[in-house]
Structure 1
Amino acid sequence: MKASKSFQWSDRKLAKRLMACLVLLAPTAASLADEHVLDTLQVHGFLSQALIVTDDNNFFGPSSNGSGSVEFTELGINASLRPNRDVLVAAQLLSRRAGGETSDAQPTLDYGVIDYQMVSNQARTLGVQAGRFKNPFGLYNQTRDVAFTRPSILLPQSIYFDRTRALGIAADGVNVYLEERIPSGTLRVSSGVGRPQTGSLLAKQLFGDTGNSISSSSLSAIAQVLYEDHSGKFLAALSAANVNLDANFAGNAADFSFQPWIASLQYNEELWSLTAEFALRKQSLEGDNLSRNFDITGHSWYLQYQRRITPSWSWLVRYDSLVNNTADRSGREYEQNGFGPAHSQFADDVTLGLQWTPNSRLMLAGEYHHVNGTGWLPTQDNPDASATRQHWNMLLFQLSLRF
């Protein structure tokens, strides 16, 4: 989260009581003593609840049982505080359930940073964040938890994987950012080093076996360059990361590395937007006595058209494509080796979506997915991959609130 020093925060008495603990993170005692510090406090929250119905396969709970699944819930509260002009302290607690057990919804720290701006003027902004920062990844990753910032209920799963969300969402470390105002527009550069979040189910989602584990004791790096023209019509970004994890695969120690590159383009007019992103993903697992080869390169892309009918109504259409291994696009070799069905190695998704936002605090959304393949299907909802169907359909409905 980044904000200009001149931004004016609202005063909320309840927020002061809930988030006064953030003052303890301020860098100086003099700042803590300033009677105006709490006047800069701002608190926001959001809640989203979805109903998911599929004809085959399960997504975020038992969605194919006829009555659907209501196990997709997002509840968050965030707060920001300025102990002095140059420092912003911000944090968000998130309770999120996406299938799995009820205990999965236990609140966790989504992000929590101390943001220090060394330079902030009309020409440029230069700052550094320390703590748990949101990864600058693609166009939507840093705001993906708030339904109002998403163009659809589900982001394109070929780029913004929900099955391995923990790995991409945030890291514990340091992030440096620069915003440079140039004659033609604005250039934003962000680069961070830290330890990514892994989550308890990451090994199962990546390798498909419950006996494996994965951890993030090694440092990883991520960077993004984004350009936006003065009119706001055109955006272009390039994101890259080098993720290093320690794995235990079938009792053998191994090093897992993941290097994604994402190119993003967006063009905006008053009544419509056209967005496209392409990702190239290289991953490898190195160690002794490994039974499988994980040295593969995959790619994914989507093209999305969003139309604003009125200020409160909009619809979109999107084609989203994922290939796990470019050397085995159909997954036949994967199936022949006994690792699972061929259709688990790809997914082509046609999405139609509709959103109604009668006011700034309420949104209702619905969307339909026709999917060929199960490449991004959550393993925890479908433990027996051989029982999944290649062609399947999904309906989602979501109610979202914010304050």
Structure 2
Amino acid sequence: MKPNISRLVQAVMLSMALPAALSMPAQANQWQVNGFVGQGYVAADGSEFIVGEPGDTFDVTEAALHLSWRPDENLRLAGAARYRQWGNLDESGLSVDYLFAEYKFILEQGYLGARGGLFKSEAGFYTSTRDVSFTRPGIMLPQSVYSDYLRDALLHITGGELFGGHPVFDGSLEWHLTLGDAQTSDDLTRNVVGSEAFGRFDADGYWGADLEYQDDSLRLGLTYFDAKSRYQSHLGGPFADGSLRSKHWIVSAQYRVNFLEITSEYLHWDRYVGGVFVPPELGILEVRGYGYYLDVRGYLPGDVELFVRYDHQVLDESDPDGDKLVATGVPGYFGYAHDWTIGTRWLPTKDWMVAAEYHKIDGAAWVTPILLPNPAVQDEDWSLFAIEISYKFQW
């Protein structure tokens, strides 16, 4: 497949043109404009995940422009435009990434604040920054905790949030309480059920809580969130009207000493499905699953990072080998995924980054479409290679 140069050019032009349009008269210390552009390439062997039928793709393009204005020390207005194409998981398009107003009360020790509008979820270490190549720990995040197929349902929240930060021991404790709706999209529908022609998901409520402690060498986190959505089927489709509810716990830990950094996160979920693919006589189906990863990273001279990661996911903890799936005609390897990754990142300058990684995977739990897996195009053992070049800017 040829590189999609026109989309990349559009992304670059967007990033360069919007600042001029948004540069209204203001004091320099009140405004902040920054963003990034990234172009990647992904090849897969034994799977069409991300790459589609050709087996590789250059349709891995990201660009974002972030604008923040502080009319005084307490009030902040922030917004961002985003362009994203992530192979066959995320169709290309320009959209609003976030748009909110925030007021922060400065305390004698720490702060309290509130924000409202469209903003990012704080679940785990990387959800709120997962779309910026410089702030995530690889081209692909660990799918056991940050699945790409559910990205839209868990990333953007429309609603309100209370937050705070306080000094504790030799570090700081930050917390967030969130209430609203998780954003849904055609990408979510397609990744879960296979096609928008069958119906679509719509948000039906979200609330969450996040707690994080950090000092010079240690970072600890605990997240809980409860997300609901409803499914409206189309006549003649394979699925019925229904509802989906997910309750997630994420426990996170990171330790850094000298040039070495060790990160691990564990996710446990309870999913409640009514209708959709569940016969009415069965009522609400509850499925419990889990995932975790361990990432060991070295920071070397010359702004080079090397990392090794093991990522493990089981969709149904009562069926870790996928035996129940076999009874439905689906191979058991769609019920789990074990991913070994080696990767590197290099920053030749402070504004440029080159990243590359190789994944060796056993199982296909995170291969789309989740409810209509296709064994004909998905092997049990498969691999994926990705490379990305990114540039960031600030005015």
Q: TM-score, normalised by structure 1?
A: 0.85
Question: Which residue of 2 is the match for residue 132 of structure 1?
Answer: 118
Question: Which residue of 2 is the match for residue 19 of structure 1?
Answer: 22
Aligned positions of 1:190-209 closer than 5 A: 190-208=176-194
Question: Which residue of 2 is the match for residue 354 of structure 1?
Answer: 344
- Gapped regions of structure 2 (runs ≥ 5): 1-15
- Percent of aligned pairs with the same amino acid: 24
Cα deviations across residues 299-327 of structure 1 (Å, max 9, x unaligned)?
A: 00000100011141110000000000011
Cα deviations across residues 133-155 of structure 1 (Å, max 9, x unaligned)?
A: 11011001111111111121111
**AA of the residue aligned to 1:276:** S
- Contact 1:63 1:69 (8 Å CA) reproduced: no
Question: Which residue of 1 is the match for residue 97 of structure 2?
Answer: 110
The correspondence for 2:79, drawn from 84, 91, 113, is 91
**AA of the residue aligned to 2:332:** A
Question: Which residue of 2 is the match for residue 241 of structure 1?
Answer: 225
Question: Which residue of 2 is the match for residue 46 of structure 1?
Answer: 36
Q: CA deviation at 1:369?
A: 0.4
> What is the rounded CA distance, in whole Å, between the counterparts of 1:343 and 1:270 in structure 2?
40
- Secondary structure at the residue paired with 1:97? strand
- Gapped regions of structure 1 (runs ≥ 5): 1-12, 22-34
After TM superposition, the structure 1 stretch with the greater mean CA deviation from structure 2, 178-187 or 362-371, is: 178-187
> What is the rounded CA distance, in whole Å, between the counterparts of 1:274 and 1:374 in structure 2?
26
- Contact 1:44 1:402 (8 Å CA) reproduced: yes
Aligned-residue CA RMSD (Å): 2.4
- Contact 1:15 1:42 (8 Å CA) reproduced: no
> What is the rounded CA distance, in whole Å, between the counterparts of 2:98 and 2:27 in structure 1?
21
- Secondary structure at the residue paired with 1:128? strand
Q: CA deviation at 1:201?
A: 3.0
> What is the rounded CA distance, in whole Å, between the counterparts of 1:288 and 1:312 in structure 2?
49
> What is the rounded CA distance, in whole Å, between the counterparts of 1:364 and 1:271 in structure 2?
20
Q: CA deviation at 1:203?
A: 3.1
Aligned positions of 1:260-275 closer than 5 A: 260-275=248-263
Matched, 1:142 2:128: yes
- Contact 1:226 1:236 (8 Å CA) reproduced: yes
Question: Which residue of 1 is the match for residue 356 of structure 2?
Answer: 366
- Contact 1:53 1:63 (8 Å CA) reproduced: no
Q: CA deviation at 1:182?
A: 2.1
Matched, 1:326 2:314: no
> What is the rounded CA distance, in whole Å, between the counterparts of 2:225 and 2:36 in structure 1?
29
Q: CA deviation at 1:275?
A: 0.3
- Contact 1:370 1:392 (8 Å CA) reproduced: yes
Question: Which residue of 2 is the match for residue 219 of structure 1?
Answer: 205
**AA of the residue aligned to 2:355:** A
The correspondence for 1:399, drawn from 385, 389, 393, is 389
> What is the rounded CA distance, in whole Å, between the counterparts of 1:252 and 1:154 in structure 2?
33
- Contact 1:51 1:72 (8 Å CA) reproduced: yes
- Secondary structure at the residue paired with 1:147? coil
> What is the rounded CA distance, in whole Å, between the counterparts of 2:70 and 2:82 in structure 1?
22
- Secondary structure at the residue paired with 1:317? strand
**Number of aligned residues:** 369
Question: Which residue of 1 is the match for residue 153 of structure 2?
Answer: 167
